[in-house]
Amino acid sequence: MLPDIAISLEQIDIIYRARAQAVGGARDSGPARAGDYHAVSQATLAVHEGEFVSIVGPTGCGKSTLLNAAAGLLQPANGDVSIFGKPLEGLNAQAGYLFQQDALMPWKTALENVAIGLEVAGIDTATAREKAEHWLAQVGLKGFGARYPHQLSGGQRKRVGLAQVLIRNPAILLMDEPFGPLDAQTRQIMGNLLLSLWAQERKAVLFVTHDLEEAIALSDRVVIMSSGPGATIIGDYTIDLARPRDAMDVRLDPGFHAIHKAIWDQLRGEVMKAYQEVEA
Amino acid sequence: MSVSKHTLLALQILVAVVALGIWHIGSSVPIFGVYFLPKFFFSTPWDVAARIVKLFSGTLIWKHLGITLTETLLAFVIGAGGGVLVGFWFARRPLVNAVFDPYVKMANALPRVVLAPIFMLWLGLGIWSKVALGVTLVFFIVFFNVYQGVKEVSQAVLSNARMLGMTEKQLFRHVYWPSALSWMFSSLHTSVGFALVGAVVGEYLGSAAGLGYMIHEAEGVFDTTGVFAGMVILAAFVLLVDAIVTAIEHRLLVWRPDAAGRNA
C-alpha cells in the first residue's frame, strides 16, 4: 500500500492580475482578463509522505509559484490544494518553508532566529533556546548562536534557516531553490546536510531547483515543468538510485548519467523555448 | 586617503587654531590702522572664552541649560511617540493613509516657525509652547520613517515569519516593530536635532529662560560677546547630545552591519 499523500495539487491555475486590487481587495479568483499573466495552468502533482520530490524547469516557469500555492502563500485561481487529504485554507501550518532569499530576522541572533518558531507556539523561552542550541549543532553551527545574520556567511545563514524550519518538526518541507545563491561546493555540502537530516526523519519534501543534477542527486522523483506562460507539469521521473546517497559521489554513478540524459532530453527543449522567449 | 588618528586630530586642531587666530588678529590687531573684525560686531575669542568661564562659575547658566534640555527631551519623546503610533496606524491601514495623505503632506510642507506665535498664544510663554514647536518638527520625521519601516519590511522575512506560525500580534512584535524601530533610530540624530531646534527657536521668539532666551537677551542689548558665548555653549550642547545619541544607537542596533561598526 502506498503511503498517504502529503501534498496534492490538482489542476492548479495561477494568474497574476495586471490590474492592482483596490484597497482591501477581493479574493484573487475568476478567469484571466486581458493583461493578466497566466503563470501556471492545469498543474497536477502529488507528494507522498516521506517522499522527496523536486520540481525542475526553465527560469521563470512558475516553479516557485506552484510551491507558494502548496504553502498557502498564494491562492490559485482554479484548482484544489489538499494537505493530508484536507483542503488547504490559509497558510499551510504543517509545512516548513525554506526561502531562496535571506529570510532570517536580521535583528535576532542565530539562536533567537531558530528558537522563535517554538516561542511563538507558546513554548517557554528556556526550553525553546535549549532546543535551538541542539538544532544549531545539528546543522553544524555549534557555538554560533550569538551571531547576528550579517556576521554569518551565506552558507551559514542557510544552515540557520534550515534549523529554524526543522525545529518546528513540520510534516512537510517546502524548499524554494534554497541553495541557489550559494557557490557550487557549498551547495553540495548543504545537499548532503539536507539528505542526512532528512534520513533521520523522512518528511515529505517538495524541492524547487533549476539545477537538474542537484534534483537527481537529492530526490526520489523529479518532475519537469514546461516553460511559461501557462506552465504545467510535463514529465515525472522516478530516481531509483540507492540510498543513503552522497550528493557529490552519486553524480559519478552510471545510473545517474542515464537518468540525467533521459530527463535532459526533455528539459532541453523547454529551456530553449524559455530562452527564445526572453530573447524575442 | 590614509592618515593616522593622531595626524587627523592634529589637523582638526590646526583648523580651529587658524580660525581662532584670524578672529583674534582681525579683532585685536589693527592692520594699517583698521580692525577687519570690529569688536562691536565680532567680539574677540578671549572675551568670549572669559564670558563662558564667567557664565559657568554662576548658577544661572545651569538653569537655562536645564530648561532647554527639558524642552528638547519632552519634544522628542512626545513627537517620537506620536510619530511611531501614527506611522504604524497609517502603514497598517491603507485606507486611513489614503484619506489623510494630502493633509499630512500639507502639514509637513508648512514652515513650522510660523506656528510658534500660535503655540505661544495657546500655551503661554512657558516650556510647553516650545515643546509643541519641537513636537511638530520631530513628529513628521519619525512618522515618515516608521511608515517606511513598516512598509518596507522584507517580503521574504515577512512570509518566513508567517510560515513559522506567527499570529498578527506576534508579527507586530517580532517583525514590524523591530523594523520600524531600526528606521526610527536611523533618523534619531535628525529628530533629536530638530527637537533642539524647536526648543531654541521657541525660546528665541518669546520666553523667560533657556539658551535661546539667553542669546536673544544678549542680542537685545548689542552684547555681541554674550551672543557668541551663547552660540558656543549651544554648539557644545548639541555635540554632547549627539554623542549620547550615537552611544544609544550603537547599543540598540548591534545587529546592523553598518551601525555595529565592527566586523564591517
Cβ of B182 within 8 Å of Cβ of A93? The answer is no
CB-CB neighbors (< 8 A) of B159 in chain A:
73, 97, 99, 103
CB-CB neighbors (< 8 A) of B94 in chain A:
23-24
Nearest to A73 among B159, B167, B263 (CB): B159
* Residue of chain A whose alpha carbon sits nearest to that of B158: A103
| Residue with the larger pLDDT of the pair A62 and A22 | A62
| pLDDT given at position A17 | 78
Query: A51-72+170-227+235-279 in CATH: which number?
Result: 3.40.50.300
| pLDDT given at position A23 | 40
* Chosen from A67, A88, A100, A105 to mutate, greatest number of chain B CBs within 10 A: A105
Measure the CA–CA gap between B256 and B184, rounded to whole angstroms: 14
* Residue of chain B whose alpha carbon sits nearest to that of A161: B160
- Tell me the per-residue pLDDT of B98-142, one tens digit each, with 9 for 90 and over: 999 999 999 988 888 888 889 999 998 889 999 999 999 999 999
Measure the CA–CA gap between A109 and A116, rounded to whole angstroms: 10
Neighbours of A220 (CB within 10 A): 18
The answer to whether the beta carbons of residues B103 and B192 sit under 8 Å apart is no
- In this prediction, residue B208 has a pLDDT band, given cuts at 50, 70 and 90, of confident
- Tell me the per-residue pLDDT of A191-224, one tens digit each, with 9 for 90 and over: 999 999 999 888 999 999 988 999 999 999 999 9
Q: Does position A276 have pLDDT exceeding 50, yes or no?
A: yes
Cα dihedral sign, B109-B112-B114-B118: positive
- Tell me the per-residue pLDDT of A83-120, one tens digit each, with 9 for 90 and over: 998 899 889 999 999 998 889 999 999 999 999 999 99
| pLDDT given at position B34 | 85
Least confident of A17-31, A34-48, A165-179: A17-31
Task: Work out whether strand A78-83 and strand A233-238 pair parallel, antiparallel, or are unpaired.
Answer: unpaired
The answer to whether the beta carbons of residues A196 and A207 sit under 8 Å apart is no
Q: Does position A28 have pLDDT exceeding 60, yes or no?
A: no
Nearest to A97 among B157, B163, B254 (CB): B163
* Chosen from B93, B96, B160, B185 to mutate, greatest number of chain A CBs within 10 A: B160
Cα dihedral sign, A217-A218-A222-A227: negative
E strand or H helix that includes residue A112: helix A110-119
- Tell me the per-residue pLDDT of B82-92, one tens digit each, with 9 for 90 and over: 998 999 999 88
- Tell me the per-residue pLDDT of B215-235, one tens digit each, with 9 for 90 and over: 999 999 999 999 999 999 999
Contact A23/B at CB under 8 A: yes
Contact A181/B at CB under 8 A: no
* Residue of chain B whose alpha carbon sits nearest to that of A172: B163
Q: Name beta bridge partners: A61.
A: none
Contact A121/B at CB under 8 A: yes
Domains of chain B: 1-42 (no CATH), 44-260 (1.10.3720.10)
> Chain A, 57-86: which have a CB under 8 Å from a chain B CB?
71, 73
The answer to whether the beta carbons of residues A186 and A144 sit under 8 Å apart is no
| pLDDT given at position A11 | 87
* Residue of chain B whose alpha carbon sits nearest to that of A164: B164
| pLDDT given at position A63 | 87
Cβ of A164 within 8 Å of Cβ of B164? The answer is yes
| Residue with the larger pLDDT of the pair A122 and B186 | A122
- In this prediction, residue A159 has a pLDDT band, given cuts at 50, 70 and 90, of very high
Average pLDDT, chain A: 87
> Chain A, 158-177: which have a CB under 8 Å from a chain B CB?
164-165, 168
- Tell me the per-residue pLDDT of B155-192, one tens digit each, with 9 for 90 and over: 899 999 999 999 989 999 999 988 888 888 878 888 98
Nearest to A23 among B98, B162, B256 (CB): B98
Q: Which residues of B111-147 are buried (b: 16+ CB within 10 A; e: fewer)?
A: ebeebbeebbeebebebbbbbbbbbbbbbbbbbbbbb
Å between B253 CA and nearest CA of chain A = 8
- In this prediction, residue B151 has a pLDDT band, given cuts at 50, 70 and 90, of confident
| pLDDT given at position B263 | 37
| pLDDT given at position A181 | 79
Rounded average pLDDT over A122-129: 93
| pLDDT given at position A36 | 79
Q: What is the DSSP letter of A252?
A: G
Most confident option among A240-254, B10-24, B107-121: B10-24
- In this prediction, residue A22 has a pLDDT band, given cuts at 50, 70 and 90, of very low
| pLDDT given at position A25 | 37
User: What ipTM was assigned to the predicted interfaces of this complex?
Assistant: 0.86
Cβ of B156 within 8 Å of Cβ of A102? The answer is yes
* CA-to-CA dists, residue B32 to A231, B29, B35, B36, B58, angstroms: 89, 10, 8, 10, 40
Measure the CA–CA gap between B117 and A5, rounded to whole angstroms: 73
Contact A238/B at CB under 8 A: no
Cβ of A73 within 8 Å of Cβ of B162? The answer is yes
